[in-house]
Structure 1
Amino acid sequence: MPPLYRLDHIAQRYAGREVLQVPALQVAAGERLGLTGPNGSGKSTLLRILGFLEAPASGRLEFLGRPVSGAAWPLRRQAVLLDQSPYLLRRSVFGNVAYGLAVRGEGEQRRRVAEALELVGLEPDRFVGRSWRALSGGEARRVALAARLVLRPKALLLDEPTANLDAESAARILEALRLARERWGCAIITASHDDPWLEALIDRKIKLLHGHLVGNDT
């Protein structure tokens, strides 16, 4: 079986300035990979490339053994990103979590929304009808994660998922990610400065510095 991702001399440039250079990297299906490094090291850029939200300036990117050309829209069904400030739609919790399923025309929305909310530690009976305005910061982050988990992607990408969260919400997110991998085999690629939290989640980590891959723990 081919790796989930294979990167070969991937580079990204903004306004002519190189911000990322990854000579080689492979991520296995179902792997839990941590990205470390200071702010501005290229972690978020790498996550956006892996989420097919932007195309690299040069190099070869493969997903499940097939080359990826550009920011490939169809592949966004299989790799989803939870960024540092996730956006919630101005609707109920159910409407937020079910949105991706509705866009894709998938059924069993109520059952799958309830399952996703339970994964992130939010009781469906209490939360499905709640407005996005009535959520705390930690609850909103967990709803945003549930909206990704409900899609059962092959790759779940997270950018500082515990930033500014209370300890309970951070623990709930950790457990949800563990369960998602256990149930659906999705790969989890996470950038975080929260070292103890990250170490409790990952199988392996890589380090970026000034856009360059400087550490690759196996």
Structure 2
Amino acid sequence: MLNMIISNLQIAIAGRVLEEGETEKPISGAMVEIIAMPDKFQEILSLKALQYGLQWEKMSDRPDRKITASDGYFYFVDLPQGIYTLAASVPGSRSQYGTKDFTVEEDSSNRIITVIDDIDLFPVGIQGQVIDSDSNEGIGLAKIQVDKSTEFTLSNFQGNYRLGVEISTLQKNNKVTLNVSATGYDEVSEVVDVDLTKVTEKNLFLERQAN
């Protein structure tokens, strides 16, 4: 199917979105966006945004935004040469994300060479243990909540926790603030650097409240 598409269009970047793991299952309906691009392509997008006005942000099929087909494939056409970064996510899924860099080049005849590669979606989240800073023992039923969000989880009786992170709640440079609280302990806030290619490991420490 992809070979037929390439023969009919000037494809610059093509590939599939796959679920990370042993099976590498193709994902249909994933959103693939170009999030970093050369200046020439940015100028094209700016003109398109003016053309479509308020509809632009709501469009799922744009020169810089595609939805994967039933077999997980996506493709972008007529891209100027340069370095591009693509990001893939599943609408409605709070914790799946993947990125990859692509380089679009022209050959000696000024023909764009198609770049074909897959993007794996990884779980995005934070896991670790909530720990008593004095005894170094795990704290059960501690609440770990993303700041200014309804996203939270509770630690188990050993203090272990796992929290899925919604992509939209990430701050600049993929940081997130966690508010951590438990009965008998002072509440703390921790800024965590979230890795978009795997679950981030982070232990959280609480101090007992003064009597």
TM-score normalised by length of structure 2: 0.25
TM-score normalised by length of structure 1: 0.25
Larger relative contact order (Cα-Cα within 8 Å, sequence gap ≥ 6):
1
Structure with the largest fraction of helix: 1
Q: Which has the larger radius of gyration?
A: 2
